[in-house]
Amino acid sequence: MSVGERIKQRRLELNLSVDELAEKLNKNRATIYRYENNEIENMPTSVLEPLAKVLQTTPAHLMGWEKSEDVDLEKVPGIITPVQMKRIPILGTIACGDPIFAQENYDGYFMIDKNLPEADFILRAKGDSMIEAHIFDGDLVFLRKTSDVDDGQIAAVLIDDEATLKRVSRDKDTVILQPCNKDYKPIIVQGNDNKQVLILGEMVGVYSRRSS
């Protein structure tokens, strides 16, 4: 099945007309027909991502990668094809500021080279408390699932039912969650605070779309 056929199939599954899809993408109907008829070769990410979002799927699905162990990226301009790829699930959003509730909702997959640092899941950063660690609002934070980290490591930490991304340190029965922004104060949880602190994962990498 071609990219255009998958786009059309998904549109029909959602009971969307060509005009409705065009309106949601701020395109004209002729452009949608061009997508579905495979008249646009090497469809760029700037087209695939909003298209996948409106169609409630992932770019990987539209490209046909999710059903193939051998991901062929040679048709994507500017991509050097790695030897082997793996998919890391994006589970939701995590606060880089005051803790917010982290809903582990499926938010698609991110394809990375299998030889890159091991990661089990991804959370999307929200806020600016970690900018001195080069983690910015909207960045994708790659995490290795673990219940413990060494002092000084950046981790996703659950405080009762709220999650935050901070640098972790301990002092006896006290957990200190240190931001990487001088404008923020650390979050300090003491043993007598009657709060449950659970480490969800250690940060192993960050993907940012910011220009340098």
Residue range 126-185, pLDDT digits in tens: 889 999 999 999 898 998 888 889 999 999 998 887 888 999 998 888 999 999 999 999
Q: Sketch the domain layout of the chain as residue ranges.
A: 3-67, 85-207
What is the pLDDT averaged over residues 82-95?
Answer: 72
Percent of the chain whose predicted confidence (pLDDT) is above 90: 19
CB 166 within 8 Å of CB 157: yes
What is the pLDDT averaged over residues 91-108?
Answer: 67
Catalytic residue among 53, 129, 169, 172: 129
Pairing mode of beta strands 109-113, 174-178: unpaired
Catalytic residue among 24, 68, 166, 208: 166
Give the separation between CA 95 and CA 203, rounded to whole angstroms: 14
Class of the domain covering 3-67: mainly alpha
Q: In terms of CATH architecture, what is 85-207?
A: Ribbon (2.10)
In terms of pTM, does the model score above 0.85? no
Q: Hey, what long-range contacts does 158-162 have (CB within 8 A, 24 or more apart)?
A: 158/102, 158/196, 158/197, 158/198, 158/199, 158/200, 159/99, 159/187, 159/189, 159/195, 159/196, 159/197, 160/195, 160/196, 161/101, 162/95, 162/99, 162/100, 162/101, 162/102
CA dihedral 170, 172, 173, 174 (to 10 degrees): -40
Reading the block at residue 145, the tokens are 């699932």
**How many other C-beta atoms can be found within 10 angstroms of the C-beta atom of residue 112?**
18
Residue 129 annotated among the catalytic residues of the structure: yes
Confidence class of residue 70 from pLDDT cuts 50, 70 and 90?
A: very low
